[in-house]
Amino acid sequence: AYTGFGNAFTRILSTEGLATLWRGVTTVITGAGPAHALYFTTYEQCKELFGATGPGHHFIAIGAAGTCATIASDGFMNPFDVIKQRMQIHGSHYKSVWHCFKSIVRNEGISALYISYPTTLMMSIPFQSIHFSTYEYFRKKFNPSNKYDPRTHICAGALAGGVAASLTTPLDVIKTLLQTRGTSSDPIISSAKGMKDATYIIYRRHGLPGFFRGLQPRILSNMPATAICWTT
């Protein structure tokens, strides 16, 4: 098992090569474009509908708009995320996205692509609510005049992504266990039926610290990702 971010990074490079760090990227590229279009369209429409476009900080309305956007985009993106996780786990035998998709459907059924959807929503809804509310707060603090300033989007987006990622890491750990259970040789993990089972397994084996495994890389990946997302 990996002992930390640095240990995982160096071991993957030395034993599997640099290209392994980009396994599953095709899945992300395929699904991310339509998912983000759906995400921001829903967000802007709901933000206007909920009255969050006026002056001042509208934390509840913005959080609600982010929730609606998350439900829509995650419903579309969840199968792509399951495939990505399967291709990225250590020792993955999948040769391509299509090979992974066919194997999952054939061996576990189409429902396996959505087994983590409830957990994904339970993670993504608070993540995006925190993300959007924090972003809007810092955007208005950094740029009260509301003039176009890419630096404002970068800084506010990065801070929002870091805060949201750190607070929702336990749910991401649970989601990852459910998404990769089909490749586990451990009968207890492979038979996990949902969030309750996954939570019990993690706590029983690793205690409370187990829910924060991967915290550092999650923050490091989300900060630039959300900064780029708001800037572009």
* Mean pLDDT across the chain: 87
Confidence of residue 210 (pLDDT cuts 50, 70, 90): very high
- Residue 2: pLDDT above 70? no
SS (H, E, C) the chain: CCCCHHHHHHHHHHHHCHHHHHCCHHHHHHHHHHHHHHHHHHHHHHHHHCCCCCCCCCHHHHHHHHHHHHHHHHHHHHHHHHHHHHHHCCCCCCCCHHHHHHHHHHHHCHHHHCCCHHHHHHHHHHHHHHHHHHHHHHHHHHCCCCCCCHHHHHHHHHHHHHHHHHHCHHHHHHHHHHHHHHHCCCHHHHCCCCHHHHHHHHHHHHCHHHHHCCHHHHHHHHHHHHHHHHHC
Residue 81 has pLDDT above 70, yes or no: yes
Element (H, E) at 76: helix 59-88
Listed in sequence order, the residues at least 6 apart from 36 whose beta carbon sits closer than 8 Å to its beta carbon are: 73, 229
Question: Could you give the count of Cα atoms lying within 13 Å of 169 in the half-sphere of its Cβ?
Answer: 21
CA distance 48 to 65: 9
* 209-211-216 Cα angle (round to 5): 85
**pLDDT tens digit string along 120-168?**
888 888 888 888 889 989 998 999 888 888 899 999 999 999 999 999 9
Looking at this protein, which amino acid is placed at residue 109? G
pLDDT value, residue 22: 74
pLDDT at residue number 1: 62
More confident residue, 105 or 124: 105
Using one digit for the tens of pLDDT, what is the confidence trace for 9-46? 888 788 877 777 777 778 888 888 899 899 889 999 99
Q: Tell me the two tokens of residue 152.
A: 């404002």
In this prediction, residue 180 carries a pLDDT of 87
Q: What is the pLDDT of residue 161?
A: 94
Q: Which residue has the tokens 């476009």?
A: 53
